[in-house]
Every structure is written in C-alpha cells, then in structure tokens.
Chain A
Amino acid sequence: MNLLGEGIAWIVDPANYAGPQGWIVRMLEQLFYTFGAIAVAAVIAIPLGYLVGHTGRGRDIAVSLSGGFRALPSFGVIILLALGLGIGFKAPLLTFVIIAIPPILAGAYAGFEAVDRKTIDAARAMGMTEWQVMTRVEVPLGLPLLIGGVRSSALQVVATATLAAYVSGGALGVFIFQAFATRDYPQALGASVIVTALALALEGIFALIQKLVVPRGVVAKEPKDVRARAPRPRATTGIPVQEGK
C-alpha cells in the first residue's frame, strides 16, 4: 500500500477516530481554537477597525500594529506564552487570537474606507447621526471586506492550531507530533489530510458567506434594458426604461 493509501486507512479506522483520543474529538478541538480565537479577535478588532475606518484616525497605528502582529512567529509566541500561562489551551488560544486580529482589523477598516465618500456625505446631509451613518451605511457596505478578513483569519488559525499540541493543547497536532516521534508516517499523513480538508471546508464556507453578504444593490445587474441587450430589440418584449414622464 502506498503512503497515501495508508494515510486514508488511518483516517477511516474506528480505532483512530472514535473515543476521547480519536481524531473527531481532536478535530473539534481544532475548530474550538479556530472559532474561539476568531470570536475573541472579532470582539476586539471589529470595533477598533470600525472606529479607525469611520474617523480615519489612528490608521497608521492600526496598519503598523497589524503588520507587527503578522510578523510574530506563532511557534515562538506559543512557547513564550506557555511559559507564563502554563501548558494547556490558554497559551495557544491567546496566540491564535493574536494571529486572528490583523486580518479582521484590516477587513473592518478597509471595508469602511471602501465606501464611496459621496455616499457617506449624502447620508450625513440627509440628517443621519454618526452612529446611523456607521450602522446603516458603512457596516452593510463594508461587510464583504470584513468577512474577507475573517476568512483569512480562519484559514491562518485553522492551520496554525496544529501547533497547540506542542504545549499539550490538544487538537489535530497531537497526532502529527506523536507520529514524528514514533515515525508513524501514515498517522502524520492522515492527520495532515484532515487539517487540509478542514481548511478547505472553511474556505468554501467563508467564500459562500462572503458572496451572500454583498448588499443586493451592489451586485444587482444593470437594468434589464432591452436596448442595451440587443441592437434590434423586439418591440413587444420588455418594458422600456421609464426615462421621461
């Protein structure tokens, strides 16, 4: 049997997926890290990003902060935090929060910045309060970019969560670290395949969400204007666009 086949065999073996040590539980731990980190990061990064995006203030700080966070080596941070917080799930979770913040922060403020200034000006001129401009104009129009940020956070964290096992934090990395110690390559491969599948599934789900949150008027196609569609429209089809009275 080739290595890939042995990896698949490892995955489908009930001895490997069932029970509290099985990969199903480990996968749920991986997801717990992913969504836990994203939830915490979102609570911190979205209001901050919105504030920066709405006021235009603190943008430089936000940019360099995200840049700095991004440059942090995850592995080093986990070890360092584990020295302070002890082994278990806390240090990895905190690390993943730190990893998840920059893309969400960037998505939040970039989403606001992408809204046409004239639209915002018009909203204000109509008599919207700053809060209403934010909640009724900037948030809905900026949502696709924000979800894009959450999407990249999710992808990074779901892959990086494998490192949690190094400080006894569980998740799918357990199998991989174990496998390398014992040279059990089918297990290493099987667990890697699961991590990859998980990442692909998340990617697919977020891509879908990202599509769904684009406000309708923004994707809505051009008018069903028969004149625009065919040079010689049939006179009986379609309602001509009502231009005059």
Chain B
Amino acid sequence: MVRRRLGPAMIEFRSVTKQFPDGTVAVDSFDLVIPPRKTTVLVGSSGCGKTTLLRMINRMIDPTSGSILIDGEDTSGLAPVKLRRRIGYVMQNSGLLPHRKVIDNVATVPILNGVPKKDARARALELLDTVGLDRSLASKYPRQLSGGQQQRVGVARGLAADPNILLMDEPFGAVDPIVRAELQQETIRLQEGLGKTVVFVTHDIDEAFLLGHQVVILQKGGHIAQVGSPAEILANPANDFVASFVGADRGKRVLRIERVDGRDVVVDENGTPTGVLQP
C-alpha cells in the first residue's frame, strides 16, 4: 500500500455549530486551533458538547455550519470513511468487536486499508507491546480481559493504522483509579514518543491538567470558558466559572508553604504535607 504522507495534523474549528434534528444546539459557533503533535484536552461537565466536538473531527457527526480543517484541508470535502481510517478513535467502553480476538481487533483498520492480513497481525503484536499488554493476550477475546486491558487494546487499535491524530473520548472513565493513573501515564508516554496530535475528552479537571499541553474548558453549548496551558489557567482563571471549575476558589489547588526544620514544606488546604520546595 502506498501510504500518503500525512501532515503534522493541526486541527482547526472555524465557527462550528451543531444543531441536532431535535433542535438541541450542542455546539454553538465554536472556534479553536488544536496544535499539532500536542495533547489538547476538552474538559467540561456532562452534556456540554465534548463528544459532539470530538466526533465532528472524524465526521461521525457533520456540523450544521462552519468548517473543520485538518492541516488546512476542509474535512467536508473528504470522504468520511477514508477520513476515519486515518484518525484513531478510542472510546470509553473500548468498543472492541466481541467476536474477534484481540489481535484481529487491533488489526482491523490496517486490513480495511488493504494491508495483508499477515503484516497487519505482525504489527498488531508490536502494538500490544507499545500499549503495555502481554502478547499472550493476542488470542483472547475482549470479554476475557479486564476493563483496563480492554482500554489498552482500544488504544492499540486506535494506533494501528499509524494515524497522526488520536481522538480519545473519556477513555479511562470506567476503569478503577489505580489503573486509570497507569493508563494516564501511558498516554503521556505514548504521545511524547509517537508525536501524535491527541484530542482528549474528559470531565475530570485533574486528568485534563495532567495530560493536556492545551486545556480547553467548556461550558454548555461548547462555549469556551478558557483555553490555555494548565499553568496559565491556574495562574489566571478567566472568570469565576473557571476558578470554580479548576477548584482554585475552594482552596483545592491552594498550597501553602510551612517552614519545618529549616526547609520549606508544601502543604495543601488541609495542612497535609505534599512535598518540599527546592530553592
């Protein structure tokens, strides 16, 4: 297969609106530039339009008006099926095909793209390594795996066609906190290692700050409350909504310095020590 050269994958929303047939305006003239090879996190409470925004990137949903550009190319001119095959998509419930073995789930998209089955499977095995899964799981069926393992397979599948964009919709929402923390670290490592443009959706601000180079705080209707790096947002919340959302007003993020034995110890709002300050 001749692989067309993909660009760095900058994504641009230009005045994008989505109104569903029932009249719900899920996204209202949304503008955003998603920088290439970085992680952008869309964060906001349930129903604010995150999933709708994400699914407009791979044309699972078409905007009512406005346009979405990938490396300057308007996606409305691209065939949805082709577009989806070059964009990785990871969802909350992993969405694995229950009747296919792990290895075949991972190999699905390359095979759709015409890669010979043998090559696709060989690559799928490598991807299991990449996402930290034992190769012995290759011949298992999704139901035989734990939730965390299924999510890893979901990530491997998202990466299988070597897309330059990876869309992740609350991918770790349903796994327990310990596994989630592990998967988050894994995601950071993968993104840094592979240089993909990751668009990550979550309602968890801590997750957003952990993963995002750029964090987009959303309000109902996909209205942007603030865009910036986690540090920028913490240092300078744009308004009360943001301050409250990131927890700055409740002292959740307020740390104090206490002097103990001649060293500066950082304590949180409850006075619990969380670390020491280095000069």
Q: How many residues of A contact B (CB 8 A)?
A: 31
A178 contact set on B, CB distance < 8 A = none
Q: Is the CB of B60 within 8 A of A125?
A: yes
Contact with B along A215-245 (1 / 0, CB 8 A): 1111011110000000000000001011111
B149 contact set on A, CB distance < 8 A = 241-243
A220 contact set on B, CB distance < 8 A = 140-141, 143-144
In the complex, identify which listed stretch (B9-17, B81-89, B259-267) lies at the interface while the others stay far away: B81-89
Question: In the complex, what residue of chain A is closest to B157 when comparing beta carbons?
Answer: A126
The residue from A126, A141, A216 contacting B141, defined by CB atoms under 8 A apart: A216
Q: Is the CB of A222 within 8 A of B143?
A: yes
The residue from B89, B95, B145, B148 contacting A119, defined by CB atoms under 8 A apart: B95
A128 contact set on B, CB distance < 8 A = 81, 112
The residue from A218, A221, A245 contacting B98, defined by CB atoms under 8 A apart: A218
CB distance from B121 to the nearest CB of A (A): 16
Complex Cα spacing A136 to B112, Å: 11
Given contacts A220-B144, A223-B140, A244-B182, contact A125 B84 (CB under 8 A): yes
Q: Is B45 an interface residue (CB 8 A)?
A: no
Q: Is B108 an interface residue (CB 8 A)?
A: yes
B142 contact set on A, CB distance < 8 A = 217
Complex Cα spacing A140 to B93, Å: 21
Q: Is B269 an interface residue (CB 8 A)?
A: no
Complex Cα spacing A141 to B84, Å: 23
CB distance from B194 to the nearest CB of A (A): 17
Complex Cα spacing A121 to B93, Å: 11
Q: Is the CB of A245 within 8 A of B132?
A: yes
Given contacts A118-B95, A126-B108, contact A239 B136 (CB under 8 A): yes
Q: Is A64 an interface residue (CB 8 A)?
A: no
Complex Cα spacing A56 to B42, Å: 33
Given contacts A132-B112, A223-B140, A243-B146, contact A215 B99 (CB under 8 A): yes
Complex Cα spacing A244 to B84, Å: 30
Q: Is A127 an interface residue (CB 8 A)?
A: yes
B97 contact set on A, CB distance < 8 A = 119, 122-123, 136-137, 217
Q: Is the CB of A217 within 8 A of B95?
A: no
Q: Is the CB of A125 within 8 A of B91?
A: yes
Q: Is the CB of A125 within 8 A of B58?
A: yes
Q: Is the CB of A126 within 8 A of B98?
A: no
B140 contact set on A, CB distance < 8 A = 220, 223
A123 contact set on B, CB distance < 8 A = 95, 97
CB distance from B117 to the nearest CB of A (A): 14
Q: Is A135 an interface residue (CB 8 A)?
A: no
Complex Cα spacing A216 to B83, Å: 31
Q: Is the CB of B84 within 8 A of A140?
A: no
Interface residues of B in 108-146 (CB under 8 A from A): 108-109, 112, 132-134, 136-137, 140-146
Question: In the complex, what residue of chain A is closest to B96 when comparing beta carbons?
Answer: A122
Q: Is the CB of A243 within 8 A of B179?
A: yes
A126 contact set on B, CB distance < 8 A = 84-85, 89, 108-109, 112, 157
Q: Is B256 an interface residue (CB 8 A)?
A: no
Q: Is B101 an interface residue (CB 8 A)?
A: yes
Q: Is the CB of A127 within 8 A of B82?
A: yes
Q: Could you list 17 examples of A-B contacts with CB < 8 Å?
A: A118-B95, A121-B60, A122-B95, A125-B55, A125-B60, A125-B91, A126-B85, A127-B109, A128-B81, A140-B99, A215-B98, A215-B99, A217-B144, A218-B98, A218-B99, A220-B143, A223-B144
Q: Which 3 pairs across A and B sit closest by C-beta, in order of nearness?
A: A122-B95, A217-B141, A215-B99
